[in-house]
Amino acid sequence: MRFSAPNPNPTDDDDFSDEFTDADYPLPDDDTDNASVMAAIDTPPPPTVPPSPHSQRFREALARFKVDGYLAADDEYGTSDDDFLDATTAPGSTAVRSAILRSAVFSASSEIRVWQEQALYPVHFGKHFRFTGYRLFQDDLTVSLALADMLRGHLTSDDIQIDITDLIHRLGWSPGTHSRERLTSSLLCLAHARFAVTNFDFSVTRFRLFDALRIEGDLIEGKLSGGFTRFQDEPGRGTFVPLERRKALREGLQTWLAGWVLATRCDEPVALQALYDHSGTM
């Protein structure tokens, strides 16, 4: 397989190809007030919003990912550990680091895929995350949880091969081109994600999820990073997420709140502003 890493800092060229067009105004009826007609004709049409440079850059990165795939090039977040993914939970549930569910690393809102460099996210009942990569959302967390469930007990040094249709079905998304594109975008963002969590003792745990990733026809191929086990936390310490129950919720604030409840004791009041800050809804 041939892998090459997409450039996280593509050029700043913007595609401002949209053009303003004259609005078509109907001819007035005989009983229409001429002054109001003239006012309507003299009022310019609403301006067309040019495409965001951030969305343009993401589309370029996505196009490169579809052609070349992805290969990790940094050593700081890589691990040489040869670990098994969590296989202790019952089928249909999977483990995830609790701090992930108590922060806005996977945002509850929906925004443009902006590249972030060492963005700081506080963790309620914890310290903080420093995150580098494209902005992650709740549907990206859904994908990572489904992958962990499909690969339970998988040795991180082994190659992976997953059928796209099977994964989309497991995600509970409708089959079709839109879901395939959505999944491809999510995999691109998860491949570039770099997590650095500061623990209570101020030690820092750095990890990434993939060492290599490529979509070849209907197959997702590549290799997990040893850091995927850091994503699940130490055995018995992560939060177990029931995937079928999570699929019944709307991805966004509903799924984020469900994760918050699972990862906290919920034995004391929480300020509304704290929920805003830690969910990413602002």
Q: What is the DSSP letter of 211?
A: E
Q: What are 6's two structure tokens?
A: 């997409």
Mean pLDDT calculated for residue range 215-222: 95
Mean pLDDT calculated for residue range 201-214: 92
Question: What's the pLDDT at 10?
Answer: 45
Q: What share of the chain has pLDDT > 70, as a percent? A: 81
In sequence order, the 6+-apart residues with CB closer than 8 A to the CB of 82 are: 155, 156, 157, 226
| Alpha carbon separation from 151 to 4, 6, 87 (Å, rounded) | 24, 26, 9
Amino acid residing at 222: G
Q: Best-predicted range by mean pLDDT among 10-19, 39-48, 85-94, 244-253? A: 244-253
Give the model confidence (pLDDT) of 111-164 as tens digits.
889 999 999 998 887 789 999 999 999 999 999 999 999 999 999 989 999 999
DSSP line for 216-275:
ETTEEEEEE-TTHHHHH-STTTSEEEEHHHHHTSPTTHHHHHHHHHHHS---S---HHHH
User: How far is the C-alpha of 19 from the C-alpha of 109, rounded, in Å?
Assistant: 30
Residue 19, pLDDT > 70, answer no
Q: Which pLDDT band holds residue 32 (cuts at 50, 70, 90)?
A: very low
Question: What's the pLDDT at 13?
Answer: 39
Residue 48, pLDDT > 60, answer no
The values of phi and psi at residue 254, to 5°, are: -65, -50
Question: What's the pLDDT at 37?
Answer: 42
Contact 61, 127 (CB under 8 A): no
Amino acid residing at 233: D
pTM to 2 decimal places: 0.78
Residue 239, pLDDT > 60, answer yes
Question: What's the pLDDT at 47?
Answer: 53
More confident of the two residues 157 and 267: 157
